[in-house]
Chain A
Amino acid sequence: MSDAPTPAIHDLGGASRYRCSPVERDEAPPDEFGKRVDAIRQILAQKGFMTVDELRRGIESIPEEEYFALTYYERWLTSISNLMVEKGIIPAEELR
């Protein structure tokens, strides 16, 4: 075995844990929750409040257990809401 560092949680390319799992062919479009989160993310980016790289950093720093438990757009919401708090745009208390 090489002494390469363990990949970060989001770095799934080639991850052996999924080797024998078929791809679930889910064709449903995003639900209302997903579309809403998606739209808000785009608006915040367009207005210069955040970048795609910040979105990624927010997603990629979600602790492993939570990363795998949350749905796709829940991970996005976690990232963008944390970002807005971190930047002082929204006080954390209003999201509790």
Chain B
Amino acid sequence: MSAPARPESLALLDKFVAALATRGLVTEQEIADRQASTDRASPEIGARMVARAWLDEGYRRLLLANGAAAAEQMGVSMAGAPPLGVLEDRPGLHHLVVCTLCSCYPRAVLGYPPHWYKSFEYRARAVREPRAVLAEWGTTLPPATQIRVVDSTADYRWMVLPMRPPGTEGWSEDQLTAIVTRDALVGVALPRLPVAAAAE
């Protein structure tokens, strides 16, 4: 999936940029600025939203009711982005997000989607055999736990609000943010305590 672009595609890109630039439609500066702002979005934003929801009931309610508004509260601009839905895990219910048609992903709060999220295998299998997919991430859920697989679309993006793991009582927002990985926000993994903390 992450094979380099072919030489003819590199050449096409150069011609395309030149054609746009000649007409004043897109400049190199705009491309550089946009690339820099896109690079700044990272899963840490989504992780902090989850940590805050675990600590602040009012924020949790906002996050579940209007994910985009909750993101804006973290200083993220959601202008032009599709709505953000947040799926709350609870005992007996786990959520997994996929975009079966392509790669829709809440980029404003998670950054670029990883290659595997866009892969044909993930897109095909997440809805058909989610437990087998989760197992590849080392994630095993009790057989009685229901797995809801939710399709992100061009019009509506989803992320998961996982359950706060036991053993994190009294933790700060920063500490909690650190255990919420991008994979946990997609639903292929669960937040996990560092070994040292778990042993305490």
- The one of B19, B118, B121 that contacts A94, using a Cβ cutoff of 8 Å: B19
| Closest 7 pairs (CB-CB, A-B) | A13-B100, A18-B124, A26-B115, A39-B34, A15-B124, A12-B123, A39-B35
A46 and B31 alpha carbons, distance in the complex (Å): 12
Does B146 belong to the interface (CB within 8 Å)? no
Does B93 belong to the interface (CB within 8 Å)? no
Chain A positions within 8 Å of B, measured between CB atoms, are: 10-19, 21-31, 33-40, 42-47, 49, 52-53, 56, 59-60, 68, 70-74, 77, 80-81, 84, 89-91, 94-96
Given known A-B contacts A26-B114, A42-B38, A77-B12, A12 and B5 have beta carbons under 8 A apart: no
Cβ distance A95 to chain B, nearest Cβ, rounded Å:
5
CB <8 Å contact, A24 and B1? yes
Q: How many residues of B are in contact with the other chain, CB < 8 A? A: 53
Cβ distance B113 to chain A, nearest Cβ, rounded Å:
9
Given known A-B contacts A36-B31, A72-B1, A21 and B121 have beta carbons under 8 A apart: yes
CB <8 Å contact, A19 and B4? no
Contacts of A90 in B (CB 8 A): 16, 19-20, 23
CB <8 Å contact, B116 and A10? no
CB <8 Å contact, B13 and A12? no
A36 and B121 alpha carbons, distance in the complex (Å): 26
Given known A-B contacts A23-B133, A39-B35, A89 and B23 have beta carbons under 8 A apart: yes
A94 and B16 alpha carbons, distance in the complex (Å): 8
CB <8 Å contact, A71 and B100? no
Contacts of B151 in A (CB 8 A): 13
- The one of B12, B31, B34, B116 that contacts A24, using a Cβ cutoff of 8 Å: B116
Contacts of A40 in B (CB 8 A): 16-17, 20, 26, 31, 34
A26 and B26 alpha carbons, distance in the complex (Å): 31
